C-alpha cells in the first residue's frame, strides 16, 4: 500500500514520516521546492522533538521520499491525504482554497481506486464538497473522500501519532473504510481504539474537541482570577476538580491564555460554521472573547507590577512561543503582550529556547538575546511567559544578580514562592492567594493589591 501526503507542515510531515515508520511507502508533497530540497538534505521546516531522526531513518531505508510533483506522486497511491493549511479569514471562517486546489489536482492525477483523505482541519461538509470538486473535475475518477482528523499536540506530535488515544475515521463507504482500517492496522494491533463513523461526525468531532479543550483553559483562567480575589490557590483548586474522572486534570493549568495554530483557529471556525447552520455556539463565542481579553489583562498585570509606568524601564521576557517544545509563534500570547509592553514605554529583551527565529520575524523592536541570563541583564522586570523546562530549572539568584530590579512575574506558576523570595525577588504569579490579581484599571493602586514581598520589604 502506497501513501501520498500533500503538505509538509506539522500535520503532513509528522503523519507522513509516522506512516513510513509503520512500514508504508510514503511520499510527502509540497509546492515549495526549497522545503522539499531541505527535507532531502535532512533540514526540517518545523521544530518537533524526534522528527529529524525519524525522517533520516526512514529516508535512508527508502520508506519516505519528498517531491514537488503532485501528479506523479499521486498516480499510483492507494490513499492520498490532504494536509494543507486552512487559515482563518477576518470573520473566522477557514480558508479552504488550498484544500480544493489540491482536490482538483488529485482528480486529474489518480489512476484506479483511490481514497482521498482530509487530514486538514475542515468544517463539516468539506468532505462532500471535496468529492463534488473531484468528480466535477474528472467524472471518471474512482475516488472516495474520507475524513481522518489529526489529534496531535505540537511538541509531542510523534508520540501522539504512534500511541494515539483514538483514531477517527469518517468514511462514505465500506470500501474506503477497509483501506483506512488497513492503514491503521499496526496501531490497532498496539491497542489503539479506531472509531469508524460517517464523514460529517468526524469533521464535527475535530472542531468540538479543540473547542472543549479551549473552554477548559479559559475556565481555569477565570477561576484563577477568583482565587486571587478570595485568597484561594488555583493549583489546589485545579487538582481537586481534576481528580474527578468526569473532568480530568489536563488543560487545567492557569496562564496567559491559549494560542497556537489550532485552538484560536478552530474555535473561531467552529463558531462561524455553526452560525452558517443556524446553530450558534454561545459557549465557544464566550471562550473566544474571554481568551483574547486574557492576553491584554496579563499585559496590564505586568505594567502594574512594574509600577504602572514602563517608560525608561527594561522588561526581560522569557519564552515567546505559545507553548514549550515548539517553535510555533502563531497566536502566541507574546504577540499581544510584548507589543502592549512596548506601547507602555518598555524596552523588551527576550529569549526563547525554540522560537527565536520565528519570533524575530513577528515582533519588532525587541532585543533578542542569547540566553535567559543575557535577557535579564539590567532588567527592571523579569517575566516568564512560556513554561519551558529550562526556565523552571534556572538559577534565580543568578538571574537576580543580572537584573537591575527585583520584580519577577511568573505567568505559568513555575516556581515555589519561597524559592523566589529567597532569591530576593518580589513575586507575582497567577491565581495564588498572595499573588497580585490585576484585572483592570478599576482595581485601584498597586500598593493595595496582595503580593509576595521580598524579604526586607
What HEC string does the chain produce?
CEEEEECCCHHHHHHHHHHHHCCCEEEEECCCHHHHHHHHCCCCCCCCCCHHHHHHHHHHCCCEEEECCHHHHHCCCCEEEECCCCCECCCCCECCHHHHHHHHHHHCCCCCCEEEEECCCCCCCHHHHHHHHHHHHCCCCCEEEEECCCCCCCCCHHHHHHCCCCEEEECCCHHHHHHHHHHCHHHHHCCCCEEEECHHHHHHHHHHHHHHHHHHHHHHHHHHHHHHHHCCCHHHHHHHHHCCCCCCCCCCCCCCCCCCCCHHHHHHHHHHHHHHCCCCCHHHHHHHHHHHHHHHHHHHHHHHHCCCCCCCCEEEEECCCCCCCCCCCCCCCHHHHHHHHHHCCCEEEEECCCCHHHHHHHCCCCEECCCHHHHHCCCCEEEECCCCHHHHCCCHHHHHHHCCCCEEEECCCCCCHHHHHHCCCEEECCCCCCCCCCCCHHHCCHHHCCCECCCCC
CA distance 365 to 321: 17
Which residues carry out catalysis?
A: 262
CA distance 406 to 409: 10
The residue among 62, 76, 75 whose CA lies nearest residue 25 is: 62
CA distance 220 to 216: 6
Q: Is 251 annotated as a binding residue?
A: yes
Domain with CATH 3.40.50.720 in the chain: 2-197, 198-457
Q: Is 323 annotated as a binding residue?
A: yes
Q: Is 365 annotated as a binding residue?
A: no
The residue among 226, 89, 80, 214 whose CA lies nearest residue 141 is: 80
Q: Is 102 annotated as a binding residue?
A: no
The answer to whether the beta carbons of residues 104 and 132 sit under 8 Å apart is no
The residue among 159, 119, 108, 130 whose CA lies nearest residue 28 is: 119
Whole-number pLDDT of residue 442: 34
Q: Model pTM?
A: 0.89
Backbone Cα Rg of the chain: 24
Q: Is 343 annotated as a binding residue?
A: no
Q: Return the CATH number of the domain spanning residue range 198-457.
A: 3.40.50.720
Predicted confidence pLDDT, tens digits, the chain (457 residues): 999 999 999 999 999 999 999 999 999 999 999 999 999 999 999 889 899 999 999 999 999 999 999 999 999 999 999 999 998 888 888 999 999 999 999 999 999 999 999 999 999 999 999 999 999 999 999 999 999 999 999 889 999 999 999 999 999 999 999 999 999 999 999 999 999 999 999 999 999 999 999 999 999 999 999 999 999 999 999 999 999 999 999 999 999 999 998 899 999 999 999 999 999 999 999 999 999 999 999 999 999 999 999 999 999 999 999 999 999 999 999 999 999 999 999 999 999 999 999 999 999 999 999 999 999 999 999 999 999 999 999 999 999 999 999 999 999 999 999 999 999 999 999 999 854 333 333 333 343 444 444 433 4
Q: Is 310 annotated as a binding residue?
A: no
Q: Is 350 exposed, middle or buried (0-12, 13-18, 19+ CB in 10 A)?
A: buried
Q: Is 267 annotated as a binding residue?
A: no
Share the mean pLDDT of the chain: 93
- In this structure, the number of other CB atoms found within 10 A of the CB of residue 276 comes to 11
Q: Is 259 annotated as a binding residue?
A: yes
CATH number for the 2-197 domain, one of 3.75.10.10, 3.40.50.720, 3.40.1190.10, 3.10.180.10?
3.40.50.720
Whole-number pLDDT of residue 434: 58
Amino acid at each position: 500500500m502506497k501513501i501520498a501526503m500533500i503538505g509538509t507542515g506539522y500535520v503532513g510531515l509528522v503523519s507522513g514520516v509516522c506512516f513510513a515508520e509503520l512500514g508504508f511507502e510514503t511520499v510527502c508533497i509540497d509546492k515549495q521546492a526549497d522545503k522539499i530540497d531541505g527535507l532531502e538534505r535532512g533540514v526540517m521546516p518545523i521544530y518537533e522533538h524526534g522528527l529529524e531522526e525519524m525522517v533520516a531513518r526512514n529516508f535512508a531505508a527508502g520508506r519516505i521520499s519528498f517531491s514537488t510533483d503532485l501528479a506523479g506522486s499521486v498516480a499510483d497511491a492507494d490513499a492520498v491525504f490532504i494536509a494543507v493549511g486552512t487559515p482563518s479569514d477576518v470573520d473566522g471562517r477557514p480558508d479552504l482554497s488550498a484544500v480544493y486546489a489540491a482536490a482538483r489536482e488529485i482528480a486529474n492525477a489518480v489512476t484506479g481506486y483511490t481514497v482521498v483523505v482530509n487530514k486538514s482541519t475542515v468544517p463539516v461538509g468539506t468532505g462532500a464538497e471535496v468529492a463534488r470538486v473531484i468528480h466535477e473535475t474528472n467524472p471518471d475518477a474512482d475516488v472516495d473522500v474520507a475524513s481522518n482528523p489529526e489529534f496531535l499536540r505540537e511538541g509531542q506530535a510523534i508520540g501522539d501519532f504512534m500511541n494515539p488515544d483514538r483514531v477517527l475515521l469518517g468514511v462514505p463507504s465500506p470500501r474506503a473504510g477497509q483501506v483506512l482500517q488497513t492503514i491503521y492496522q499496526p496501531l490497532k494491533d498496539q491497542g489503539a481504539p479506531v472509531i469508524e463513523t460517517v464523514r460529517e461526525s468526524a469533521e464535527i468531532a475535530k472542531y468540538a474537541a479543540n473547542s472543549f479543550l479551549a473552554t477548559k483553559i479559559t475556565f481555569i483562567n477565570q477561576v484563577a482570577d477568583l482565587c486571587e480575589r478570595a485568597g484561594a490557590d488555583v493549583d489546589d483548586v485545579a487538582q481537586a476538580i481534576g481528580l474527578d474522572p468526569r473532568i480530568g486534570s489536563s488543560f487545567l493549568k492557569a496562564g496567559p491564555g491559549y494560542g497556537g495554530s489550532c485552538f484560536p483557529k478552530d474555535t473561531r471556525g467552529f463558531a462561524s460554521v455553526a452560525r452558517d447552520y443556524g446553530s450558534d455556539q454561545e459557549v465557544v463565542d464566550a471562550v473566544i472573547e474571554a481568551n483574547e481579553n486574557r492576553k491584554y489583562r496579563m499585559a496590564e498585570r505586568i505594567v502594574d507590577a512594574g509600577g504602572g509606568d514602563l517608560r525608561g524601564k527594561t522588561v526581560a521576557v522569557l519564552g515567546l512561543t505559545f507553548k514549550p517544545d515548539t517553535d510555533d509563534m502563531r497566536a502566541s500570547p507574546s504577540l499581544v503582550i510584548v507589543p502592549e509592553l512596548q506601547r507602555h514605554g518598555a524596552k523588551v529583551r527576550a529569549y526563547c529556547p525554540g522560537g527565536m527565529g520565528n519570533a524575530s520575524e513577528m515582533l519588532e523592536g525587541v532585543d533578542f538575546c542569547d540566553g535567559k541570563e543575557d535577557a535579564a541583564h539590567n532588567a527592571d522586570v523579569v517575566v516568564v511567559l512560556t513554561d519551558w523546562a529550562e526556565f523552571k530549572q534556572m538559577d534565580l539568584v543568578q538571574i537576580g544578580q543580572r537584573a537591575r530590579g527585583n520584580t519577577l512575574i511568573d505567568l505559568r506558576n513555575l516556581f515555589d514562592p519561597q524559592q523566589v523570595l529567597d532569591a530576593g525577588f518580589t513575586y507575582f504569579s497567577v491565581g495564588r492567594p498572595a499573588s497580585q490579581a490585576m484585572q483592570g484599571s478599576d482595581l485601584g493602586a498597586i500598593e493595595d493589591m496582595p503580593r509576595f514581598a521580598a524579604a526586607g520589604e
